[in-house]
Chains A and B, each alone.
Chain A
Amino acid sequence: MAFPVSPAATPAGPVRAVSARHFLRLKLRVMGNSFRGQGWRIALFIGGALFGLWFAASGFFLFAVPGMTGNGRYAVLVAAGGGGLLVLGWLLLPLVFFGVDETLDPARFALLPLPRRTLVVGLFTAALASVPALAVLIATFGLVLTAWALGGWSAGLVAAVGVVAGLLLCVAASRAVTSAFASMLRSRRVRDLAAVLLAVAAALLGPLQIFGLAALRETDWDRLTGVATVIGWTPFGAPWTAGIDVAQGRVWAAPVKLLITVVALGALLVWWSRSLESAMVGAVSAGRAPVRRGATGGAVAQLFPRVAGWFRRDRFGALVAREARYWWRDARRRANLITVAVVGIFVPVMINLGGAGFAAEGEQGMTMSANDSSPVLVTLSMLFVGVLASVTLANQFGFDGSAYAANVVAGVPGRVELRARMTAFSLYVLPMLTVVAVVLSVLLGHPGWIGLTAGSLAATYGAGLAVNSFVSVLGAYSLPETSNPFAMNSGAGLAKGLLTLLAMVVSAIVAVPMVVAAALLDDAWLWLALPVGAAYGLGAAMLGAYLAGDVLDRRLPELLATVTPRR
């Protein structure tokens, strides 16, 4: 692709330069066309936009508080803390929850004679035209207000420059990271390395956790300001604090911080353009895989992986076996599975170890040792893990795409289909959840709580499976057929994220009885939690499959149509 082409060798006629404007217009046009004649898509988009607006408005006021109250003491804290969280969110959330909007798939540009610089700048510009980016811009303009109120026009101006640079940094970070992970997960060799890196990324949630918890203790405000000052000198906080520095008389700091931002931005774009190239070439041809031999036994024996080997050789067994193979062989599904494993272990450990002191203060108002978590808090963190694990199935039919036609043609009953999918996913997730339950109770120094952790997990996971079978049948959507497992379809990213959030909230609500029981019943619950939770989870999942299976039976062709990517 990269052989030099002299201008004389190009086709006759003047070649007009392609600018970022063209990419922007292309993206808007593609988005517009994807809405055509699809009322629900427009509704979802408007819902997403309203949510973004709400987020933007509340963010704006939070950032503007130090300016409006005229209190400059915590301005750096708000700017560095809030801004840092934003950057971190842009970095991690696409990997963990939402994916990135790939309206303009880089692979589509592979054949066009575009310099890489033009391509990166163009795709970057197009990525900026999204609801989340706009929301962040509005929200962070609260910082401009603060800087202006505290330090006049010059400070406000610097803050405005900083805020725009910060937004660019956010978007570049999310693109670079998802693109790099995508190319890693594609390659069979470094895919395990990618899993480790994802774990590290999730571990980055740790500082966030400590920061948030410490912020809730008033005594540490001043120490926090010190932390914020340090963050202000990293790319996470530099763009947001430049204006405040001018306002508070540290004029020399502003150019340095802007320089830090620009350097970080440049590095991210270079990184992105590297992995972009591999994405473009990789999509054209991943190379023929070597012919693998050594098939043992008949076709049926080959279909059943060892993990599903003990299932009966019938329709249900075949569905489970195929799903179990897919959870491992399909890059998109594997990425989801790894995320669940990593987040599922890290988050509860951090909540319970880091948050214990806070919980003790908040609930009883007395001091306990830092290692003392409460049954309610443990149950709540298990609720989160169970919900997170089950929400992976929210678009389970979307993973299949048009291949789902095979099941429609064979006339698989909806209940069997849903039960088999739950079973196959559970083959991977249940051992994972068991590890979480055991590790957590041991780490907390309460091995006796295994019943409590495992029971809450089982109940939430089962309830989540039930809720998500409905979501997957009624709210399915097609995933683009690209090699990027994080890619989302045209413009609907935020709306889809909302659907996921809704599924999580409903699952959590269904599982609330477990929390109530943990709060009301004392020691008895430690023993009752496991049998009750397991029964509750299993019952909920079976009921969900029974009811949603009925809905599925009536919607087979419609579901197939919604998960088939439009070409």
Chain B
Amino acid sequence: MTGEHPALALRGLAKRFDGTIAVAGVDLDVPAGSFYGLLGPNGAGKTTTLSMAVGLLRPDAGSAWVLGHDVWRDPVAAKRLLGVMPDGVRLFDRLTGAELLAYNGLLRGMDPAVVDQRAAELLDVLALGDAGRTLVVDYSAGMKKKIGLACALLHGPRVLVLDEPFEAVDPVSAALIRDILTRYAAGGGTVVFSSHVMEVVERLCSHVAILAGGAIKRVGTIGEVRGDRSLEQVFVEVVGGRTATGEELSWLSR
């Protein structure tokens, strides 16, 4: 099955909110075993696209498949293969880290003994063991990202979908997250993540898609998209930025 189907396939996904088009028909094939970066400026529709791809947001049109299972027609099979870390979504943060992991593990129908063992390992590796009985609501932003990642990894998913895993994370934690993701991908897993940090994407990803204005602008392996320029140059050119001339905002300096 793995050989025939892409890890994640999106066809014509579209969503509009109150008359504004957030995502206008996204087609995407994420090959199994790839490390896929979804790049885009703020408001490009990254979160909306990923939410529709994992079953958190019902699309107006289009469909999504995880390893050949339709996310919207056969959600149980598709969700079993998925590990998701949404962005801008709260965790059940009035639990401690260990409790949260146990909750997610049992929710996935895992054996309690396996949950215990994996939770202990994850907490240890992610340096969250020191937090003890602190509630997740009292965690720092970086710790919250890490426990979110642990929740997504716990049941050993085949495909990992992460929304902004490196946002608001200090360099030490970011390096740790990078290591874990690299190992996961090396072990045959597929990682899809959104970001607007070029440096991380350039370092990690085998494939890249640039999303702007709700549509895919560039897609391919990192070499194809980048060509002989830097990823940042391509990105700014595709998205179309503006630079300050120095005339406006003169009152800022006095």
Contact = CB atoms under 8 A, between A and B. Distances in A.
B156 to A, nearest CB: 14
A11 to B, nearest CB: 10
B104 A410 contact: yes
Contacts of B131: 291
A408 B56 contact: yes
A407 B107 contact: yes
A53 interface: no
Interface string A402-423: 1101111111100000000000
Interface stretch (A315-323, A388-396, A500-508, A517-525): A315-323
Interface string B112-138: 100111011001000000111111001
A300 interface: yes
A292 B151 CA distance: 21
Interface centre among A299, A322, A325, A329 (most CB of B within 10 A): A299
A217 interface: no
Given A299-B119, A300-B106, A291 B134 contact: yes
A16 interface: no
A37 B18 contact: yes
B95 A322 contact: yes
Interface in A11-40: 36-37
Given A315-B109, A411-B80, A326 B94 contact: yes
Interface string B54-69: 1111100000000000
B95 A292 contact: no
A558 interface: yes
Contact of B79 (A302, A317, A329, A411): A411
Nearest to A407: B107
B133 A401 contact: no
Contact of A293 (B90, B95, B116, B133): B133
A264 interface: no
Interface string B37-57: 000000000000000001111
Give the interface residue-count category, chain A. Answer: 35 or more
Given A37-B19, A326-B94, A409-B82, A303 B132 contact: no
B132 A292 contact: yes
Contacts of A561: 57
A295 B112 CA distance: 17
B92 A403 contact: yes
B18 to A, nearest CB: 4
A405 B56 contact: yes
A325 B136 CA distance: 13
Interface string B199-230: 00000000000000000000000000000000
Interface string A210-229: 00000000000000000000
Contacts of A293: 132-133
Given A408-B55, A409-B55, A300 B112 contact: yes
Contacts of B54: 409
Given A289-B134, A292-B132, A409-B84, A298 B116 contact: yes
Interface in A313-364: 313-315, 317-319, 321-322, 325-326, 329-330
Contacts of A189: none
Nearest to A313: B112
Contacts of B130: 291
A431 interface: no
Contact of B95 (A303, A317, A405, A560): A303
Nearest to B148: A406
Given A36-B18, A318-B106, A406 B151 contact: yes
Given A329-B94, A557-B57, A299 B102 contact: yes
Contacts of B102: 298-300, 302-303, 318
6 contacts: A291-B133, A295-B133, A299-B105, A300-B106, A314-B106, A557-B57
Interface of A: 36-37, 288-289, 291-295, 298-303, 313-315, 317-319, 321-322, 325-326, 329-330, 400-403, 405-412, 556-558, 560-561, 564
Given A295-B133, A299-B98, 19 more contacts: A37-B19, A291-B132, A292-B134, A295-B96, A295-B132, A298-B102, A302-B98, A314-B106, A322-B95, A326-B92, A326-B94, A402-B88, A403-B92, A406-B104, A410-B108, A411-B75, A412-B107, A557-B58, A564-B89
Interface of B: 18-19, 54-58, 75-76, 79-80, 82, 84, 86, 88-96, 98-99, 101-109, 112, 115-117, 119-120, 123, 130-135, 138, 151
